[in-house]
């Protein structure tokens, strides 16, 4: 499979490293910045990508979900079959629709929102619910950086730089671990730790108030704000590890012995490194499904698992 990497930040570098493990050929990396590849892959200006139409089987689109992907993925789908990791959960249905329209018109196939969540965790939520319909699913993230929440901090006036760590609540984890089926409000399941570097002369109290009262992002949570130097924020931002788990508690019958528990847990040394591997497996499925004539936009939930696997025979895994 010949891939292109569009966008060369942390995620693009993760995809490039993962390609060394999967054995996929990187035809080119496309970046707005002039940078060199540590693996010796060719880096081209982003604007030249279209010229590689026909030479790239699947483009791996590596941009941010807030500003980049909503514009980038539909545009690139006009020339390439592709994958992306669009991760704003509430806007995925709309993204699929927009990308699907572009891909259908162009006769390409796109797979969007691949990664660990959305992605592997979406798969777990679906399988768990399908296999055990009477149950409750709990998703815990962290400890790890949330890009969306870090962005929200950085948009506050007077903030020079910031990073947010999402931390699961010990109490909620322990209740679910003991098999207690109950509803948790979002703020009962996670805590938010913010590390914020201010511009000179900015009022700490005002910034802290803006953070802890921010609707959806921080107000519902136990939020701790730490004011630190820009260097400290940068060092914390370099910690790209993450973890999380999806747990389902449920019952297949009406007996004590009908209670079941399923759990998928991940512990990632590097969030973009792991996501890179998921994107390349998704790209393989796109390559195969497009070869069978499929066009439009799908997610991992639409893909037969076998299509993700490098080898043809899967009975060794069964």
Q: Does 281 bind its own copies (CB under 8 A)?
A: yes
Distance CA 196, CA 208 (A): 9
For residues 85 and 275, the answer to whether their CB atoms sit within 8 Å is yes
* From 131, 171, 234, 235, residue interacting with its own copies (rule: CB under 8 A): 131
Q: Does 312 bind its own copies (CB under 8 A)?
A: no
Q: How far is the CB of 136 from its own copies (least distance, A)?
A: 13
Q: How far is the CB of 139 from its own copies (least distance, A)?
A: 10
Q: Does 106 bind its own copies (CB under 8 A)?
A: no
Q: Does 82 bind its own copies (CB under 8 A)?
A: no
Rg for the chain (alpha carbons), in Å? Answer: 21
* From 44, 188, 241, 294, residue interacting with its own copies (rule: CB under 8 A): 241
Cβ-Cβ contacts under 8 Å for 83 (sequence gap 6 or more): 58, 59, 60, 61, 110, 111, 112, 114, 279, 282, 283, 286
Spell out where the chain has E strands.
2-6, 25-31, 43-45, 58-61, 82-84, 109-111, 135-141, 144-145, 159-168, 190-198, 222-227, 242-251, 259-268, 296-298
Q: For its own copies, which stretch binds (CB under 8 A), given 2-10, 195-203, 211-219, 267-275?
A: 267-275
Q: Does 260 bind its own copies (CB under 8 A)?
A: yes
For residues 316 and 87, the answer to whether their CB atoms sit within 8 Å is no
Q: Does 292 bind its own copies (CB under 8 A)?
A: no
* From 14, 74, 100, 144, residue interacting with its own copies (rule: CB under 8 A): 14
Q: How far is the CB of 197 from its own copies (least distance, A)?
A: 23
Q: Does 267 bind its own copies (CB under 8 A)?
A: yes
């Amino acid at each position: 499979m010949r891939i292109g990497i569009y966008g060369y930040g942390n995620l693009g570098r993760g995809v490039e490293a993962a390609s060394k493990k999967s054995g996929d050929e990187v035809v080119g990396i496309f970046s707005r910045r002039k940078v060199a590849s540590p693996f010796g892959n060719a880096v081209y200006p982003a604007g030249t990508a279209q010229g590689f139409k026909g030479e790239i089987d699947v483009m791996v689109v590596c941009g941010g979900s807030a500003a980049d992907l909503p514009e980038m993925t539909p545009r690139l789908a006009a020339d390439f079959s592709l994958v992306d990791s669009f991760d704003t959960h509430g806007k995925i249905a709309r993204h699929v629709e927009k990308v699907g329209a572009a891909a259908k018109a162009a006769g390409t196939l796109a797979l969007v929102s691949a990664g660990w969540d959305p992605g592997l965790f979406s798969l777990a939520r679906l399988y768990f619910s399908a296999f055990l319909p009477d149950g409750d699913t709990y998703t815990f993230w962290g400890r790890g950086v949330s890009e969306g929440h870090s962005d929200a901090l950085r948009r506050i006036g007077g903030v020079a730089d910031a990073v947010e760590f999402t931390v699961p609540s010990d109490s909620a984890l322990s209740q679910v671990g003991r098999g207690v089926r109950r509803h948790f409000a979002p703020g009962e399941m996670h805590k938010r730790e913010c590390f914020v570097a201010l511009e000179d002369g900015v009022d700490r109290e005002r910034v802290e108030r803006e953070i802890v009262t921010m609707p959806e992002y921080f107000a519902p949570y136990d939020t701790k704000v730490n004011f630190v130097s820009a260097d400290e924020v940068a060092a914390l931002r370099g910690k790209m590890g993450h973890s999380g788990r999806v747990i389902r508690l449920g019952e297949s019958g009406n007996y004590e012995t009908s209670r079941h528990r399923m759990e998928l847990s991940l512990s990632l040394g590097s969030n973009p490194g792991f996501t890179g591997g998921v994107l390349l497996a998704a790209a393989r499925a796109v390559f195969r499904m497009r070869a069978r004539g499929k066009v439009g936009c799908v997610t991992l939930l639409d893909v037969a698992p076998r299509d993700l696997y490098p080898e043809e025979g899967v009975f060794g895994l069964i």
